[in-house]
A and B are shown apart, each in its own frame.
Chain A
């Protein structure tokens, strides 16, 4: 191979939802569910994925862990793991389902998403192709998750597609169809490449300084939100934001030639419209990417329009927009933007 692979910034993301076995009630609010998983078990799951915990913080709603290769969020009935590099993320499914089972929790929905790898040939099993990932998921998810869908959402760039796999059981699917998502929550997964060089250089500094220097600390203006950040050696930066029951997470791979940064957060359709827009603007202003993709997962259809309105005024033009519907998860809208002016 003439070209040597660099660090793969593009993450793989896995979200698992659980349901309490007790037919009388599904986890009372004050029960801690998955948070009761002891640390050794968690570490075992992460060993299977080949990453370790470097920093962590928790509040009354959830625990947030910064990992050697991204982030982990543990809620009472939901786990989100997002890993980059050459981690074997899907290998966490089996052990997690087993440990949850010991806590009387059953898997009721699963969502796996990722962009396109910069260095796909460097990925290990089962991530050598989406086809292989889907095959692995089909084999390893319990059969009660009977509604399954896999989709590759394209953009005008061959190197930027969005891969989605969802699986849910009858209850999770019906619940969403019948009552919808009460809070109308959405998840924004943003991938940025060709970052501004000055910003990327700051990747050499320590975590906290990086948070301040780059302005990352200002992305969420809520003074009560907590940031758990970590700077890697020789470079690289990760941060988890904890704001009430909402998480946000940023990961930066600064190396020139394959610079990458991701930003992910959750929100509600009922939030102040301006808040999301302002946050997106700040993200773009901090990273100044040449290419950016935004994937919005939501049970309602309005969020993605706000995304375009927030980003376009900053010199990034929307080049593609595709939407697809998934059982239980709702709609996923995948948009790509590229800078209109090169610096």
Chain B
């Protein structure tokens, strides 16, 4: 719960439960164990907050293009939760979400997938975030 609340109030940054990513103060959370991820995901099921999950790989060029864009979006949309998952690290989660190409952005609300963007498509992702963040 703490993770969601700190994000809604714009505290940003990784929640205390997870070891923060070495990339300074970023509003994008990353998870390094499936268990922690599952805990977090389950705790968000009752929330109507939009969550954007970025499935990426360290060796994938297109993912690197989106990294700074995602950080910008996370700063702009403080009412939206941004999460980054490394497909090699959490391969079971990537498989569960049927990720076949990277980057894949899965938009989730109340534990359910509402939208998906495949590829480094900044404008399309922005459009979809705008579309889903407002709805209750």
Contacts and interface: CB of A to CB of B under 8 A. Distances in A.
Interface of A: 32, 35-39, 42, 53, 55-59, 63-65, 74, 224, 226, 228, 242
A230 B100 CA distance: 20
A63 B102 CA distance: 9
Nearest to A59: B101
Contacts of A228: 118-119, 121
Contact of B61 (A55, A74, A224, A242): A74
A57 B102 contact: yes
Contact of A37 (B61, B62, B103, B118): B61
Main SS of chain B's interface residues? loop
B126 interface: no
A59 B100 contact: yes
B57 interface: yes
Contacts of A55: 119-121
B128 to A, nearest CB: 12
Main SS of chain A's interface residues? strand
Interface centre among A32, A39, A55, A56 (most CB of B within 10 A): A56
A108 to B, nearest CB: 22
Contacts of A32: 59
Contacts of B65: 39, 53, 56
B5 interface: no
Given A59-B101, A242-B101, A65 B62 contact: yes
B61 A42 contact: yes
Nearest to A58: B60
Given A55-B120, A56-B62, 10 more contacts: A35-B59, A35-B60, A39-B64, A56-B65, A57-B62, A58-B62, A58-B103, A65-B62, A228-B118, A228-B119
B90 interface: no
Interface string B68-112: 000000000000000000000000000000001111000000000
A108 B121 CA distance: 34
A64 B62 CA distance: 8
Given A57-B120, A228-B119, A36 B100 contact: no
A55 B120 CA distance: 6
Contact of A224 (B57, B59, B100): B100
Contacts of A39: 61, 64-65
Interface centre among A42, A57, A228 (most CB of B within 10 A): A57
Interface string B119-130: 111000000000
Nearest to A57: B119
A234 B42 CA distance: 45
A74 B63 CA distance: 14
Nearest to A72: B61
B62 A63 contact: yes
A55 B118 CA distance: 10
Interface centre among B60, B103, B119 (most CB of A within 10 A): B119
B64 A38 contact: yes
Contact of B118 (A35, A57, A63): A57
Contacts of A63: 60-62
A37 B65 CA distance: 12
A36 to B, nearest CB: 7
Contacts of A53: 65, 120
28 contacts: A35-B59, A35-B60, A36-B59, A37-B61, A38-B64, A39-B61, A39-B64, A39-B65, A53-B65, A53-B120, A55-B120, A55-B121, A56-B62, A56-B65, A57-B62, A57-B101, A57-B118, A57-B120, A58-B62, A59-B100, A59-B102, A63-B62, A74-B61, A224-B100, A226-B100, A226-B101, A226-B118, A228-B119
